[in-house]
Amino acid sequence: MKYDFTAIEKKWQEKWLEEKPFTAVTGDKTREKFYGLIEFPYPSGQGLHVGHARPFTAMDIICRKKRMQGYNVLFPIGFDAFGLPTENYAIKNHVHPAIVTKQNIANFTKQLHMLGYSFDWDRVVDTTDPSYYKWTQWIFLQLFKKGLAYKASMPVNWCTSCKCVLANEEVVEGVCERCGSEVIRKEKSQWMLAITKYADRLIDDLDDVDYIERVKIQQRNWIGRSEGTEVDFTATNGDKLTVYTTRCDTLFGVTYMVISPEHPMIEQWADKLNNIDGIVSCYSVAGAPSFVLVVRVASPTALEELLNLIHRTVPVSTETTMILQTYFAH
């Protein structure tokens, strides 16, 4: 007999919705509790993809097993619906973001039901619901009152298409991982959370949680606690540069130092380059070099003299690329 999954699964999915066998029982003290949590999906216009189904299926299997073992299982579902992609999509298609979000959540809900997951549909979370985000606002206010939320200006990775900040991991070869558009470095004032104040506690408390060892190792490496020494070096122009090292025994072999593009000395030294004849422009760039200088000189000898002057002015290493022919310039 051929398995008619369309008819059979639809029948049982409707029965699950009607009888609610996966609803967690509030106040039940006779059974041990289990809380199964997935990363709530962002309801995009494209619908679910395999990146959703893989972890959702794994947790669904665990929750079903726990129910069979007699646990009172809480397995909620929700939608992380706020985000600039929704806003940009709405602007592009001239549709209100609330309408787009509602349509996308309805589509995701239908697809999740079709996959037959044992979510507790009485506990659906929607981050655009005022009854939900009033609590995220309350949490932010508590962080602000305690000095854990503050505003700071810093260089960020900015997607020119998505119009949002990207983590370093979301920038692949200079372009946005999501849309493939150019990513630029941009100075932006934004809210920050001082989570580093809890770094020691986060690492120490890993000993008290029931995680598999490789996850604990990942967490420790991500937090990145290390013990070392701050050492002051004097640059050739007299400026002091403080570096951190965990290996003081290697200091006698130091030949050069690399500083990040957002280091305050970059701007300080860039100003000194501004008045040097031959330097046309200076750009902060993403990638291996921190800055690109465009120079115009009359001969290779003049270029060598200019490079020597740059090295005497600011303590940087340089690589030279020569323009052989210009096809067009704006």
Q: What is the pLDDT of residues 133-156, one digit of tens each?
A: 999 999 999 999 999 999 988 888
**Whole-angstrom distance, CA of residue 322 vs CA of residue 303:** 10
**Interior/surface letters 161-186, b for 16+ CB within 10 angstroms, e for the rest:** ebebebeeeebeeebbeeeeeebebe
| The CATH number fitting domain 1-128, selected from 3.90.245.10, 3.40.50.300, 3.40.50.2000, 3.40.50.620 | 3.40.50.620
Higher pLDDT, 155 or 245: 245
Give the pair of three-digit tokens for residue 312: 């005497």
pLDDT confidence of residue 270: 66
Determine contact, residues 115/106, Cβ cutoff 8 Å.
no
pLDDT confidence of residue 86: 75
β-partners of residue 279 are 295
pLDDT confidence of residue 288: 63
- Asked if the domains 1-128 and 231-313 are classified in one and the same CATH topology, the answer is no
DSSP letter assigned to residue 3: -
Taking residues 306-311, report their average pLDDT.
82
CA-based nearest residue to 63, from 18, 28, 23, 115: 23
pLDDT confidence of residue 187: 80
Determine contact, residues 179/161, Cβ cutoff 8 Å.
yes
**Whole-angstrom distance, CA of residue 39 vs CA of residue 129:** 18
pLDDT confidence of residue 158: 87
pLDDT band at 280 (very low <50, low <70, confident <90, very high): confident
Taking residues 24-51, report their average pLDDT.
90
pLDDT band at 107 (very low <50, low <70, confident <90, very high): very high
pLDDT band at 330 (very low <50, low <70, confident <90, very high): low
Determine contact, residues 116/20, Cβ cutoff 8 Å.
no
pLDDT confidence of residue 277: 73
pLDDT > 70: what percent of the chain? 92
Domain segments of the chain: what residues? 1-128, 231-313
- Residue 183's H or E segment, with its range, is strand 183-193
Point out the least confidently predicted range of 13-22, 99-108, 186-195: 186-195
Tell me the per-residue pLDDT of 165-179, one tens digit each, with 9 for 90 and over.
888 878 888 888 877
Alpha carbon distance, N-terminus to C-terminus of the chain: 71
pLDDT of residue 222 exceeding 90, the answer is no
pLDDT confidence of residue 209: 92
Q: Which residue has the tokens 């309801």?
A: 43
pLDDT confidence of residue 129: 92
Higher pLDDT, 63 or 272: 63
Residue 138's identity, in one-letter code, is W
Tell me the per-residue pLDDT of 262-276, one tens digit each, with 9 for 90 and over.
677 777 776 666 666
Give the pair of three-digit tokens for residue 209: 């949680």
**Whole-angstrom distance, CA of residue 158 vs CA of residue 184:** 5
Kindly give the pairing relationship between strand 149-159 and strand 183-193. antiparallel
Give the pair of three-digit tokens for residue 277: 């004849």
Residues 6+ apart with CB under 8 A from 165: 156, 157, 158, 188, 190
SS3 52: helix
DSSP letter assigned to residue 42: P
Other Cβ atoms less than 10 A from the Cβ of 192: the count is: 11
pLDDT confidence of residue 254: 85
Taking residues 234-252, report their average pLDDT.
86
Residue 218's identity, in one-letter code, is Q
The mean predicted confidence, pLDDT, of the chain is: 86
pLDDT of residue 286 exceeding 70, the answer is no
Angle at which helices 97-115 and 5-19 cross, to 10°: 110
pLDDT confidence of residue 224: 82
Give the pair of three-digit tokens for residue 108: 């995701």
Assign a CATH topology to domain 231-313. Answer: Alpha-Beta Plaits (3.30.70)
pLDDT confidence of residue 79: 94
CA-based nearest residue to 126, from 105, 150, 141, 108: 105
pLDDT of residue 258 exceeding 90, the answer is no
Against a cut of 0.85, is the pTM above it? Answer: no
